Structure 1
Amino acid sequence: MKLTEPVPGGPCWVELSTSDVPGAKAFYAALFGWRPETDPRPEAGGYTVERIGEDAVAALSPLYRPEQQPAWTVSFATKDADAAVDAVTSAGGTLLMGPMDVFDQGRFAVAADPSGAAFSLWQARAFAGAGRLNDPGTLGWTELRTPDPESATAFYRTVFGWTVDATERYTHWGVDGAEFGGMKAMGEDEQADTPSRWLPYFTVVDVEATAATALGAGGEPIVPPIRIPRGPAVAVLADPQGAVFGVHAP
């Protein structure tokens, strides 16, 4: 069973910080059919919600700092952002931003686990998060790449209470047994300076066709399309600004 909607402890939103918002709008429209809707208020800073139909599925925003690298960030739902921050820091994580209110939409914070993998915390008010999960063009999986799976398991179980189904090669995360993501240890194939990170995977119908579209739109393959034994077809791609994400066909 997979997680099908935002629930406390599970992924509820995914957001791209990018150096080229107009370019990202065009790229992801070609890739996933997203329809961008930019908040016109000056205080929103150009924040753009991406939609499929009327459902919000992701967001784009300008970089917060000039030195920041374009990247996707996964948000996890919480009933109390301030209490979640306390849990993060008590478990050895780091607070990077917030907590702060976002208009009437909710309250958020940005944190990092002990290995440096960043993620957001979202306390919903008017906005609960993604209107769809696991449909084509929407968030379908979240994967942690880390050098220390044992410590990561202890951290996330403490902070979110996730259920864990682990083998020697891969760990599956869940909320009360409903899976939403996994964890893979960084291996010899990783570059020495590759940071720990959360990688969002978007569901698609055809991984090879999506990878070809990404290449034609200025992206590049990081991991070419492959079929996981007894699992999904997957690929890891980078958009034209260098933000890395995955696609999978269950």
Structure 2
Amino acid sequence: MTEATRRTPGTPCWVSLMVHGLDATQEFYRALFGWEFEPGPQHLGPYVRALLDGEEVAGIGQLPPDRHLRIAWTPYLASDDADETAESIRCCGGTVAVGPLDAGEAGRMALCSDPVGAIFGVWEADAHHGTATAGPPGTPVWNELLTYETSSVGKFYRAVFGHEVEPVVSADHDWATLHVDGVPVASLHGVGNALPRDRGPHWMTYFETVDVDTAARLAVELGGQLLRPPYEARTGRVAQVTDPEGAVFALVRSAGR
């Protein structure tokens, strides 16, 4: 997927990570995914964009030393008007924690959370339209919200972004898929009390990889942790890992690859 134009509102368009050790984090993801890096907007402090074969795929920024926030990958959802979307988020029971503010000439952004606390970003593109390629190994290919239950939170995302919420019929699992213009763009997974107490509701980004088992072992060798060993899922073979600062993400070899 290569995009030269602004994404349709509600579509995940970027993933970003804020850490304390920017240099060490770059080394981890360079070794794991083959990313290279170039400077990005510095509106929130030091920030780099990760490149794969010259295409922008993700961003990593550095937190101030006195900020002790949860280290987590954050998906950004596209908006035609970040200020209007931020107001809608507030009206629908969510929280706007940062912004909306300008990110240089790249665009306008806000950091928000849904009514049960899952953090996500809002991105109104100007010069920067987001992830330039998705699909090859090392790129973000999916985002899933792990939450208590999907019904009420699905109504929030539908009201704010216009998502079509399609429940997945299952007697054993609480699943739903978010669609934009009939195209699936993200998923919701209600796990109730199985949510990790130290993280609560949260979005998880899936990164494509050639070999999930090998990549999971490499993540551990590089200083990360294995949270869930490789297993077969609806989407393909998946493992859940963290980077050295504790950011959780999934490794996936998508079905059919």
TM-score (normalised: structure 2): 0.90
Tell me how far 1:38 sits from its aligned partner: 2.6
Query: Match for residue 243 of structure 2?
Result: 239
Query: Does the C-alpha gap of structure 1 residues 93 and 189 become closer, same or farther in structure 2, counting only changes over 3 Å?
Result: closer
Gaps of 5+ in 2: none
Q: 1:59 maps to what in 2? A: 59
Which deviations, in whole Å up to 9, do the C-alpha atoms of 1:49-102 show, x marking residues without a partner? 000122110011012552212211110110000110111111111111101111
Flag as ranges the 4+ runs of structure 1 deviating above 4 A: 41-44
Deviation at residue 4 of structure 1 after TM alignment? 7.0
CA RMSD of aligned residues (A): 1.8
- What is the CA–CA distance in structure 2 between the aligned matches of 1:139 and 1:35, rounded to whole Å? 15
SS in 1 for 2:135: coil
Query: How many pairs align?
Result: 246
C-alpha change, 1:153 and 1:23, in structure 2 (3 Å) is same
Distance 1:95 1:104 in 2: 22
1:63–1:70 Cα contact (<8 Å) kept: no
Secondary structure of the corresponding residue to residue 192 of structure 1: coil
Deviation at 1:188, TM superposition (A): 4.6
CA shift at 1:42, angstroms? 6.7
Counterpart among 209, 217, 231 of residue 212 in structure 1: 217
Correspondence 1:184 to 2:189: yes
Cα displacement (A) at 1:161: 1.0
Within 2, Cα distance between the matches of 1:106 and 1:96?
A: 18
Q: Structure 1: which amino acid aligns with 2:77? A: F
1:166 aligns to what SS in structure 2?
Answer: strand
Alpha carbons of 1:43 and 1:147: their partners in 2 closer, same or farther (altered >3 Å)? closer
1:102-117 alignment to 2 at 5 Å?
102-117=103-118
Distance 1:221 1:82 in 2: 39
**In 1: Cα distance, 2:92 partner to 2:195 partner:** 26
Q: What fraction of aligned residue pairs are identical, expressed as a percent?
A: 36
2:43–2:104 contact (8 Å) kept in structure 1: no
1:249 corresponds in structure 2 to 253
Distance 2:194 2:245 in 1: 23
- Could you tell me the TM-score, scaled by structure 1's length? 0.92
Distance (Å, rounded) in 2 between the aligned partners of 1:233 and 1:177: 25
Q: Secondary structure at the match of 2:156?
A: helix
Residue 83 (structure 1) aligns with: 84
The one-letter amino acid of 1:54's match is G
Q: Which runs of 5+ in 1 are unaligned?
A: none
**Correspondence for 1:31:** 32
What displacement does 1:193 show?
Answer: 3.9
Q: Secondary structure at the match of 2:155?
A: helix
| Distance change (3 Å), C-alpha of 1:75 and 1:215 | same
Query: What is the deviation of 1:35?
Result: 0.3
The answer to whether residue 125 in structure 2 is matched with residue 124 in structure 1 is: yes
Q: Secondary structure at the match of 1:210?
A: helix
2:77 alignment partner, SS class: strand
